[in-house]
Amino acid sequence: MSRLEQLQRGLDSAGQAHVLRFWSELSEEQQEVFLQDLVLLDLQRLKEHCEAASRAAAGPAPTLDRVMEPVPPEITGSVTRSDPESLTRWEDEGLLQISKNRVAVLLLAGGQGTRLGVPYPKGMYDVGLPSRKTLYQIQAERIHKIQELAERRHGSKCTVPWYIMTSEFTLTPTQTFFKQNNYFGLEPSDIIMFEQRMIPAVTFDGKVILEGKGKIAMAPDGNGGLYQALVDHKVLEDMKQREVEYLHVYCVDNILVKMADPVFIGFCVSRGADCGAKVVEKAHPAEPVGVVCRVRGVPQVVEYSEIPPETAQLRGPEGELVYRAGNICNHFFSRTFLQDVAEKFKDQLKQHVARKKVPFVDSCGNQVKPTKPNGIKMEKFVFDVFPFSRNFVVFEVIRKDEFSPLKNTDGAASDTPTSVRTSLMDQHRRWVCSAGASLLDEDGNIVGPETSESSDQHPVKCEISPLVSYFGEGLEQLLKGKKLQTPFVLDEKTTKVLQGQSSGDL
């Protein structure tokens, strides 16, 4: 029996015989390419996948309010509620682990970023900072700096490996971009890129969507595809060989992410945690973010669509939201926990339904770009492993310091290039003012700490390179008492000039 006949039988038994309806219209070369793609499909799992997608799309979204409870305070640390001594102790512990080469960062960068409207990976996006740095460059420079801080504290040279999970859409352009930029000064051998799996998009009645006459519409399997990808590409073996024990996992689009945050790492390690989540306080009850909580006594992220408005609006005795722990996709995992997930739990992860507008060919072979959702992409989420944790902890941080995601084009209500650029420059303005310096606007007026947050339309243009300061440290001796004209960019070159001024050289 030929490969084609085997595939025909397999597709037929999976209820997907229509996939080959245009076979005779393809050239020999197109047929061979399509055949190669189809051979990679697990036809038994394809049947299960399509049936599950159809069932999930037909069913109502579950509500979990009767079995939910907020995370207890005894498993929670906080930048604002924990005492300063604890924060210092956690930072020391985190820097110690980094100095011993036990910490790595893992970037989730497999999404297509279609809402941003660009044909390349989000990490390559230039949000319009004075320096014109991309998200990838900012993150790379933060790795440089945290290595330097750990080396300075403990006197031993160290490395924070950077694992980057890409997809079929983002792998090649990301590899090319890093190579063109000389890996932003990092060792190429310490940047490990690997690819997550792709799965077919299906119609609401469970039929695989054809993107072209000889091409199935495929999509990454969500950031929860991480756990299968770790197995597929032997990433856990690489971590073990490098003696990495702890992972900081994050999404590419957060311009304020603290790479290998030593306070977060130290908190989790000191608590003996195998799994942890950073959270921010929800801005308002209806904010469309998932909530970290407990469901039937087990840690979980409950999507905002699964929480009735009356539950989302519940408040505690001091007026705080009961379910305020907003998930920001910023996590801690021990390597041994990831090993457990890979070996025992990855196939138990929940599937989430994403209704999407998926381009397709109709029964006559015509290309169609739908104007409303016509298909389902089934996704797994990275946080779906929380229930498998033996010792789960939560760490609350300040939104304006650590969370500003890039998701939409300018003109949208939030999470745009303008909003994230403003978030970063506002943070840097606060650092400069805290260091005892004054910023001057174009008219020579002082923009100080008493000034309200600058608006997206008129931000105070102030940018500090991560190579100079990781999180505002070390600026006072450089800037105190100085008046600085905006736009102000503090990079390594400017630092040398300021040092020269302070020593009387200039």
The DSSP line for 398-425 is -HHHH--B--S-BTBSSS-HHHHHHHHH
Domain 417-502 classified CATH 2.10.10.100?
Answer: yes
End-to-end CA distance of the chain: 83
Residue 130's contacts (CB-CB under 8 Å, 6 or more residues apart) are 461, 463, 487, 489
Strand runs labelled E in 367-505: 367-368, 375-379, 392-397, 438-440, 446-447, 462-464, 483-485, 488-490
pLDDT per 10-residue tile (average), the chain, 506 residues: 84 92 94 89 81 78 82 96 97 98 97 82 95 98 98 95 94 97 98 94 92 92 93 97 98 97 98 98 93 95 88 92 96 98 89 88 92 90 96 98 95 93 96 94 75 61 97 95 94 84 45
- Interior angle at CA 105, CA 98 and CA 331, nearest 5: 105
Contact 101, 158 (CB under 8 A): yes
- 65-402: CATH topology: Spore Coat Polysaccharide Biosynthesis Protein SpsA; Chain A (3.90.550)
Given this model, what pLDDT does residue 276 score? 98
Contact 227, 193 (CB under 8 A): no
Let me know if 489 is exposed, middle or buried by CB neighbors in 10 A (0-12, 13-18, 19+).
middle
Given this model, what pLDDT does residue 457 score? 59
User: Of the candidates 161, 171, 168, which has an alpha carbon nearest to the alpha carbon of residue 124?
Assistant: 171
Token representation of residue 260: 């290998």
428-443: burial string, b at 16+ Cβ within 10 Å, e else: bbbbbbebebbbeeee
Token representation of residue 77: 């640390």
Integer Cα distance of 245 and 471 in angstroms: 24
Compute how many other C-beta atoms are within 10 angstroms of the C-beta atom of residue 187: 10
Contact 11, 43 (CB under 8 A): yes
Given this model, what pLDDT does residue 94 score? 98
What's the pTM value of the predicted model, to 2 decimals?
0.92
Given this model, what pLDDT does residue 455 score? 57
Token representation of residue 179: 């190579």
Given this model, what pLDDT does residue 449 score? 58
Given this model, what pLDDT does residue 495 score? 86
Q: Please report, for the chain, the start and end positions of each structural domain, with discontinuous segments joined by +.
A: 65-402, 417-502
User: Of the candidates 7, 25, 24, which has an alpha carbon nearest to the alpha carbon of residue 16?
Assistant: 7
Given this model, what pLDDT does residue 444 score? 84
Strand runs labelled E in 109-216: 162-166, 191-195, 198-200, 202-203, 210-212, 215-216
Given this model, what pLDDT does residue 448 score? 59
Percentage helix, strand, coil for the chain under 3-state DSSP, each rounded to 5: 40, 20, 40
Contact 247, 338 (CB under 8 A): yes
Given this model, what pLDDT does residue 237 score? 98
